[in-house]
Structure 1
């Protein structure tokens, strides 16, 4: 899948980035015989007619994703016969290896980047072209033709990356479990979304101990649970949707204040913790270690519902489990967090226009139709969600797109999605390095969300550096 989670930058990576900046400053203009290639004068760097040029692309991905990207490249080369693309797949330690390349003045033309790790440190060093300038001039694609929340900006007006499509969070469930329990399944339409209380009530009825008693039964044994009502996940990607749903955020609107200790965020976090420790309908972090991946968990009935990324539709379809998707329960307003990798163009490219055309090819839904129908990816362009003919290519009559998918996923992405905090919260990883250990104690029931967030507020505040989406 395109989405990828990695550990925060290490000191070594930061050192290499700094070294790379110094080395680049010393050598780039000398090597190019003038101003840095890929400067704002894009016309002077565009390939002459008939010139044979070579672009280098770095990315990561599962084997089926790499296979699709190879087809994208072949199609691109056929349409641009004077351009050859060297695909450099980096399956492991991507950040470290790319950072070493940057430090060695060996940058690719186009690279897949992760917003939570090295993309923004590189952007702050001026490593990427501003893609807003290309969008403004392009006749085929504009900013408003893209799905919401799939562009990443270092500041308003400076887009450093565009994703090949969004990835959102939704509520997966085993249809057979609901049918056998005689319960109405989760609604797919936002207008019919469960309240949090309705969600909890249903999860209680679906949580069974080893004697078949549900969590509403006075004799229910919470120490011997064979089927949990829900696995909500306990990392920021999963719980952020509920923080946003409740009107909260990770930092204040002006970016000056740590906000996870504010009432809206605290209530959302406590609600999720209560699923574990108060209602016993969700596994604790320790118990979750014995819960398999989403597709297996639903297939084997370890859980009845799972809150997870839409990319799981591919493996769920392969598992032949009778699954469907419902809209996430609503606290105050519907919301889902969009997370996705991006493609960026390094400023050092000698061929910015051709690099832009390659980036466009990489995010073209038509070229990646196999991954769309498989279920791992979603399209980057709005009309693939609203035009019936285009929608039928990937989201209709597909095993990976069950009956609730259009309402619960597509409509929510278009109308109720929220940008990933890694994209707009500066210094996000450092803030979460402080938040995560405190939240571990909340999930374990050792403290309340308010106590935990208040206890680390001063330390977290010291790491707050602002927002990228405000001037």
Structure 2
């Protein structure tokens, strides 16, 4: 009995009360910690569910590389695109105003395996190379054949590789011959039709001190040289590479005569001695300075020259040719492809669709003077009112000369540029240069010599 009372009294001691209270406190603290942790977990889950849509609404950036001059001209289009496509940000990376360098930059980016460019803004002669290398997305299923009928056929075909579409046309280019209307009128002369006319008229204007130079063209060793020579070659009845038969015509008599014509313009001071270092922009500025009678260049010059000292005193026409031969107008032109490695292909296609709207293109060509790829715009009243040569240019564009549409085009062009430059600068005769160019091109294409 005494022991039981002793035990009962023990439980009533202060020590027991402290331990008991401490245990209750710990249990309560654990319960509060558990509730706090559960609340925090719920907050994190709810926050992630509510914040995820906000993050997903951030604009997707679509990148493209464009020559600096044209990228500036794109600015109004980009602004309007952003207004109608707030979920996409089009970032234009400015490149040098040199077609060869732009191609090299794209090529280098693709060779790295993860190009930063979602869109490829391409010259027509890049398509075969880029598509053959697997760098471009196949666009065939994205476009109905009826829609492609709205474009110049050469632009469409130039965007294909193995009958699949890899480039949507945007703007076309055809080489043209510019001339000073006022100088010809002063001398009582008409625009030339043949190569001989061009030589004789140039000499007459120079003899009368109306212009220092008769004819300027792109003679620098770059892609523009190959494009220009394609037109002279066509005018002499020659050809470069036949893509169907793989025949090479660079060492044919017609090709030799075409080179001799260009060499003659330099020897007889019809063209400046520095013409072998000129690209499009150098020749444009020389023509706009007022000291040149004839200029071979692309249609973009027409609008730019309207802000120069010769405004209103120039016109353009197809390139001259031999009697009985066809005038040559090299088909150029630029369009959009989608990079195979792009993580934003859907958004990239939305950019292409926007830029290819007739209304957007009309405004762009109205402001820049570039030539459209859509056939309907060649007879558009608004455009023709400002550029009255467009309807006549349509026929030239539809019958333009393509540079060889082959995957090895870049190498073939490099061969022609090197040997043609050697002939024009006098380090090789036209015969030597063109024979070497033809032989090397045959080796490139694995053709038995």
CA contact (8 A) 1:251 1:425 kept: no
Whole-Å separation in 2 of the counterparts to 1:147 and 1:96: 27
Which residues in structure 2 correspond to 1:187-198 (within 5 Å)? Answer: 194-198=193-197
Whole-Å separation in 2 of the counterparts to 1:369 and 1:314: 14
**Pair 286,319 (structure 1): closer, same or farther in 2 beyond 3 Å:** closer
Map of 1:113 onto structure 2 = 122
Map of 1:412 onto structure 2 = 396
Match of 2:321 among 326, 330, 344: 330
Which residues in structure 2 correspond to 1:283-322 (within 5 Å)? Answer: 283-285=272-274, 293-321=282-310, 322=313
Map of 1:240 onto structure 2 = 230
Structure 1 residue 56: deviation in Å? 1.2
Residue-by-residue CA offset, 1:359-387 (whole Å, 9 max, x unaligned): 1222334224444123442222111113x
Whole-Å separation in 2 of the counterparts to 1:298 and 1:316: 9
Residue-by-residue CA offset, 1:378-436 (whole Å, 9 max, x unaligned): 222111113xxx2x22232x3xx3x5x2365343123x212234xx1332232333333
CA contact (8 A) 2:243 2:406 kept: no
SS in structure 1 of the partner of residue 74 of structure 2: helix
Match of 1:177 among 157, 177, 183: 183
**Pair 393,108 (structure 1): closer, same or farther in 2 beyond 3 Å:** same
Residue-by-residue CA offset, 1:103-150 (whole Å, 9 max, x unaligned): 253544323234556x5444223232222322237xxx6222112322
1:342 is the counterpart of 2:335: yes
SS in structure 1 of the partner of residue 143 of structure 2: helix
Map of 1:156 onto structure 2 = 162
Map of 1:91 onto structure 2 = 95
1:227 is the counterpart of 2:220: no
CA contact (8 A) 1:291 1:297 kept: no
Moved more, 337-346 or 250-259: 250-259
Q: Which consecutive unaligned segments of at least 5 residues does structure 2 have? A: 1-55, 220-224
Structure 1 residue 344: deviation in Å? 0.5
Whole-Å separation in 1 of the counterparts to 2:169 and 2:336: 6
Structure 1 residue 316: deviation in Å? 0.8
Between Structure 1 and Structure 2, which shows a larger proportion of helix residues? 2
Map of 1:463 onto structure 2 = 444
SS in structure 2 of the partner of residue 165 of structure 1: strand
Match of 2:356 among 352, 355, 363: 363
CA contact (8 A) 1:131 1:161 kept: yes
Give me the TM-score of the superposition, normalised by structure 2. 0.72
Structure 1 residue 317: deviation in Å? 0.7
Whole-Å separation in 2 of the counterparts to 1:446 and 1:96: 27
Match of 1:167 among 169, 173, 177: 173
Whole-Å separation in 1 of the counterparts to 2:102 and 2:294: 33
**Pair 437,447 (structure 1): closer, same or farther in 2 beyond 3 Å:** same
1:128 is the counterpart of 2:136: yes
Structure 1 residue 170: deviation in Å? 0.9
Give me the TM-score of the superposition, normalised by structure 1. 0.69
Larger radius of gyration: 2
Structure 1 residue 351: deviation in Å? 5.6
> What is the number of equivalent residue pairs in this alignment?
376
**Pair 104,233 (structure 1): closer, same or farther in 2 beyond 3 Å:** closer
Which residues in structure 2 correspond to 1:33-112 (within 5 Å)? Answer: 54=60, 56-62=62-68, 65-66=70-71, 69-80=74-85, 83-92=87-96, 94=102, 98-99=106-107, 101-102=109-110, 103=112, 105-112=114-121
**Pair 291,355 (structure 1): closer, same or farther in 2 beyond 3 Å:** closer
**Pair 60,286 (structure 1): closer, same or farther in 2 beyond 3 Å:** closer
SS in structure 2 of the partner of residue 60 of structure 1: strand
Whole-Å separation in 2 of the counterparts to 1:373 and 1:430: 36
Map of 2:240 onto structure 1 = 250
CA contact (8 A) 1:135 1:142 kept: yes
CA contact (8 A) 1:107 1:346 kept: no
Q: Which consecutive unaligned segments of at least 5 residues does structure 1 have? A: 1-50, 187-193, 215-225, 467-471
CA contact (8 A) 2:176 2:298 kept: yes
